[in-house]
Amino acid sequence: MYVKVIIEIGVKAVDKEYVYKVPTAFLDKIKVGVRVKVNFGTQLLEGFITEIINNYEGNILVRDILEVVDDTPILNEEMFKLADYLVNKTLCSKISAFQVMLPKALKAKNKTNMHKKFNKYIVLNSDINQVNDYIASCKYNSQKEILNKLLNEKKVLITSLSSGIKTLEKKGLIKIIEEEVYRYNIIKDNDFKKVSLNSDQERVVEKIISNLNISKTFLLYGITGSGKTEVYLEVIDNVLKEGKNAIMLVPEISLTPQIVQRFVNRFGNNIAILHSGLSDSEKYDEYRKIKEGLVKIVIGARSAIFAPFDNIGAIIIDEEHTPTYKQDETSPRYDAKDVAIWRSKYHKCPLILGSATPSLESFARAGNHVFELLTLTRRPAGSVLPQVHIVDMKEEVKRGNFVFSKLMTDKINEKLGKNEQIILLLNRRGYSSMITCSDCGYVEKCPKCDISLTYHKTSNTLRCHYCGFYKKKTDKCSSCGSSNIKDYGMGTQKLEEELKQKFPSANIIRMDMDTTSKKGAHEQIIKDFGRHKYDILVGTQMIAKGLDFPNVSLVGVLNADMSLTIPDFRSAERTFQLLSQVSGRAGRGDIQGEVIIQTYNNNHYSIVFAKNHDYLSFYKEEMKIRKSLSYPPYYYITLVNISCKDYELGFAHADKIGKYLRDNLEKTTIILGPTMANMFKINNVFHYQCIIKYQRDNKLSKVLKEIDDIYKIESKVNVSINVDPTRL
């Protein structure tokens, strides 16, 4: 017997199946989808069996399999088909398609050795009368205590074997057992009360559950605070009653604690969690819960879409507009929404995409009846959308108000006086955005990326947020030696410092990448702010979505137009979404909410429409611009990125690829470039790009595959192809 094996190496040049012989000792263990260890060249590697063949007629010497790693298959039929879809859609290697679906412990890697975690317990091992007789006659208090405890508790956790335990075990009165313990658990809140749905929510739920056995995509457009999560809970409740499973995606790790708690309160321990904040061993535990049928619901970030359920009844993607659902940086460059649509068809189940600010592509699909539009237009009784004020900072600066406008200062003081809470958004972490010399004009830049370093005051370091380079800040200019060093721009660290000086009586907490790098930090900050341990929460965009704090009456946005300066066709859409989402954090309880947006661009349509909570007007205005410039959703986009450590070589290949695209694609297809990428130099690598815009091009897949195949073996130049990128 022979098998075809795909090896763990992700290099495209070796991305194919290799034939190995099965020794007699392994014949009964061989199954498609299990991992095996094999010799590959001079290396000992793991791979997946993709096919079993009886005869091999090739003329190349075939090596034996060295070991069968798994008793049962890791990959099933759906995963094989899904891998084929990812390969065709994203032009990734087959092994990387398999790897993205699995936790680290189950990937075809020889380096990982993951173990289950067990707790040891003692339990009674004899008749209760015998135990009582022994207690009565025993002169050792430690043994009596152990037995009396077991009579009351039935099972006692132990961390070490005391002499008393050893004696009782020898006498046969007790025995030691082991039980697996999962490393990630959330405790149910006993004060939980189920919320009654309003008529709008009931209408939406009824529409979805009447289509539970159909592959159909619903776009749930509901204003902030309209109760989309309650709809999700009710839909999943009905899915479970059908004996099926549900997947729920959220865009940020920071959203997970509050949402998970609500789901645990409703469904108990019937939930597994999958996101990057978990350790490898925790992910392994959660994955096995799913695989072994111990849970019916999965909640997580992007990669949770690959949860190994074999009977999915509904898939839900909350905040569907968020770009984090697309993996742009590494292969496979998949979009979780596309994978969700594929799995929805495979399992014949509905997909629900929810958002208060849907992506233009999704809303256009709803308008074309590709998706079915469902709406929630009002908040629950007693809660209304917040009043939004726009402050022109050009005028405030003339009055000497550089950080906080007069209105912002007055409102913060007012809310603090009422013992209400405040959220302030500044979408830039660190202390200041650049350090420069006032004498010679020198700016401290990353030597690997040619971008200004961000100053982080708490660690007194200058850091590059692209490659990770950092160095200690000095008091003298690196170029001329002057001591006249200034920092410009503001990040969340500096904002926190300004707040403490201006509002000394307020308790302030900051939530950004720097304060949440430690495990459990997200959960702790959210929990502490929810308990009103802090008055003001300062943060980046991670605080803008999904969080629910009933006592927050004021949301402030500083430098609201910052995202408009990004050279990307989606910058206005991202600005509108961010402002709308963060505004929705105010007034979610019984308190009237207010929002203050500080901007230097107060007449921009994205900001004006966000002020008025007017998604439809923004959508119409932005669609006019997209149509005139031939951008999505009127055109599809594919990005070809060419990167090389050699500037001239990279440019030459980029020019060659641009010409190849123009010569071989349809004449109606628009090709922009090659040009330097927005971030041209990252970690000493130069980046060029070609942008392909098309409505229909039957030649595109073939041409892209040809380019991909050519550069499989080109070691000095790397070409990556990103279909439907979220950023250019």
Taking 70 as the threshold, does the pLDDT of residue 491 lie above it?
A: yes
In which band, very low, low, confident or very high, does the pLDDT at 7 lie, cut at 50, 70 and 90?
very high
3-state secondary structure of 262: helix
3-state secondary structure of 545: coil
Last residue of a domain, one of 376, 409, 439: 376
Please spell the DSSP secondary structure of 150-187, one letter per residue.
Answer: HHHHSEEEESS--HHHHHHHHTTSEEEEEEE--S----
Taking 50 as the threshold, does the pLDDT of residue 299 lie above it?
A: yes
581/578 Cα distance (integer angstroms): 5
Taking 70 as the threshold, does the pLDDT of residue 382 lie above it?
A: no
Sheet holding 155-158, edge to edge: 155-158, 118-124, 174-180
3-state secondary structure of 718: strand
CATH number at residue 650: 3.30.70.600
- Check the CA dihedral 176-178-183-188 and report its sign: negative
Identify whether residues 24 and 44 lie together within a single domain.
Answer: yes
394-399 average pLDDT score: 95
3-state secondary structure of 278: coil
Residue 187 forms part of a structural domain? no
693/335 Cα distance (integer angstroms): 18
Closest CA to 248 of 320, 189, 182, 329: 320
Residue at 33: amino acid letter? G
pLDDT digits (tens, 9 = 90+) for 625-641: 999 999 999 999 999 99
Give the pair of three-digit tokens for residue 461.
Answer: 């370091």
Residue 362 forms part of a structural domain? yes
Residue-level pLDDT at 56 = 86
Residue-level pLDDT at 255 = 65
Q: Which class for 427: exposed (0-12), middle (13-18), buried (19 or more C-beta within 10 A)?
A: buried
Identify whether residues 229 and 328 lie together within a single domain.
Answer: yes
CA–CA distances in Å: residue 662 to residues 640, 671, 704: 13, 7, 12
Identify whether residues 405 and 485 lie together within a single domain.
Answer: no
Identify whether residues 346 and 369 lie together within a single domain.
Answer: yes
Separation of CA 526 from chain center: 18
Contact indicator for 657, 707 with CB cutoff of 8 Å: yes
Residue-level pLDDT at 305 = 97
Q: Angle CA(22)–CA(25)–CA(28) in degrees, nearest 5?
A: 80
Give the pair of three-digit tokens for residue 569.
Answer: 């066709």
Residue-level pLDDT at 275 = 84
Instruction: Output the average pLDDT for the chain.
Output: 93
What's phi and psi for 176, nearest 5 deg? -100, 130
Q: Which class for 130: exposed (0-12), middle (13-18), buried (19 or more C-beta within 10 A)?
A: middle
Q: What percent of the chain has pLDDT over 70?
A: 98
3-state secondary structure of 382: coil
Taking 60 as the threshold, does the pLDDT of residue 110 lie above it?
A: no
Contact indicator for 697, 665 with CB cutoff of 8 Å: yes
Identify whether residues 332 and 245 lie together within a single domain.
Answer: yes
Q: DSSP letter at 462?
A: E
Identify whether residues 205 and 311 lie together within a single domain.
Answer: yes
Sheet holding 67-68, edge to edge: 17-21, 2-7, 43-53, 35-40, 67-68
Of 106-115, 159-168, 512-521, the poorest mean pLDDT is in: 106-115
Last residue of a domain, one of 180, 208, 226: 180
183-194 average pLDDT score: 71
9-21 average pLDDT score: 86
Residue 229: which H helix or E strand, with range? Answer: helix 228-241
Q: What percent of the chain has pLDDT over 90?
A: 77
394/202 Cα distance (integer angstroms): 47
544/619 Cα distance (integer angstroms): 20
Identify whether residues 127 and 251 lie together within a single domain.
Answer: no
Domain span at residue 573 reads 387-429+492-624
Which range, 10-14, 33-37, 449-453, is most confident?
33-37
Separation of CA 593 from chain center: 29
415-440 average pLDDT score: 92
47/60 Cα distance (integer angstroms): 20
Of 115-119, 159-163, 263-267, 563-567, the poorest mean pLDDT is in: 115-119
Residue 286 forms part of a structural domain? yes
Taking 90 as the threshold, does the pLDDT of residue 556 lie above it?
A: yes
Residue 192 forms part of a structural domain? no
Closest CA to 620 of 562, 576, 557: 576
Closest CA to 596 of 628, 641, 555: 555
Q: Which residues contact 671 (CB under 8 A, 6 or more apart)?
A: 658, 661, 662, 665, 690, 691, 692, 693
Dihedral angle of Cα 10, 13, 16, 18, to the nearest 10 degrees: -100
Last residue of a domain, one of 445, 464, 490: 490
Which range, 123-132, 521-530, 552-561, is most confident?
552-561
Task: Considering only residues 85 and 678, tell me which one the structure prediction assigns the higher pLDDT.
Answer: 85
Identify whether residues 269 and 317 lie together within a single domain.
Answer: yes
CATH number at residue 36: 3.40.1440
| Helix-helix angle 141-153:128-137, to 10 degrees | 150
pLDDT digits (tens, 9 = 90+) for 498-548: 999 999 999 999 999 899 888 888 889 999 999 999 999 999 998 988 788
CATH number at residue 617: 3.40.50.300
Q: What is the largest CA-CA distance in the chain?
A: 97
Residue-level pLDDT at 430 = 85
Of 9-18, 298-307, 363-372, 675-684, the poorest mean pLDDT is in: 9-18
Q: Which residues contact 64 (CB under 8 A, 6 or more apart)?
A: 20, 21, 22, 23
Residue 139 forms part of a structural domain? yes
Identify whether residues 223 and 361 lie together within a single domain.
Answer: yes
Q: Which residues contact 544 (CB under 8 A, 6 or more apart)?
A: 425, 578, 581, 582, 585
50/27 Cα distance (integer angstroms): 15
Identify whether residues 472 and 501 lie together within a single domain.
Answer: no
Taking 80 as the threshold, does the pLDDT of residue 182 lie above it?
A: no
| β 350-355/216-222 pair status | parallel
Of 352-356, 606-610, 711-715, the poorest mean pLDDT is in: 711-715
pLDDT digits (tens, 9 = 90+) for 208-219: 999 999 999 999
Residue at 457: amino acid letter? K
Please spell the DSSP secondary structure of 584-601, one letter per residue.
Answer: TTSS-SSSPPEEEEEES-
Task: Count the helix, strand and coil residues of the chain and give each as a percent rounded to the nearest 5.
Answer: 35, 25, 40
Model pTM score: 0.90
Residue 85 forms part of a structural domain? no
Domains contained in the chain, number: 6
Identify whether residues 409 and 439 lie together within a single domain.
Answer: no
In which band, very low, low, confident or very high, does the pLDDT at 567 lie, cut at 50, 70 and 90?
confident
Residue 190 forms part of a structural domain? no
Residue-level pLDDT at 725 = 96
19/184 Cα distance (integer angstroms): 40
Please spell the DSSP secondary structure of 318-365, one letter per residue.
Answer: TTTT-GGGB--SSSS--BHHHHHHHHHHHHT-EEEEEESS--HHHHHH
3-state secondary structure of 38: strand
Separation of CA 200 from chain center: 30
477-487 average pLDDT score: 91
Identify whether residues 288 and 249 lie together within a single domain.
Answer: yes
Question: Is the bond into 674 cis (omega within 30 degrees of 0)?
Answer: yes
Residue-level pLDDT at 113 = 56
3-state secondary structure of 115: coil
Task: Considering only residues 237 and 41, tell me which one the structure prediction assigns the higher pLDDT.
Answer: 237
pLDDT digits (tens, 9 = 90+) for 315-356: 999 999 999 999 998 999 999 999 999 999 999 999 999 999
Residue 193 forms part of a structural domain? no
Q: DSSP letter at 633?
A: T
Residue-level pLDDT at 695 = 97
432/453 Cα distance (integer angstroms): 9
422-451 average pLDDT score: 90
What's phi and psi for 501, nearest 5 deg? -75, -40
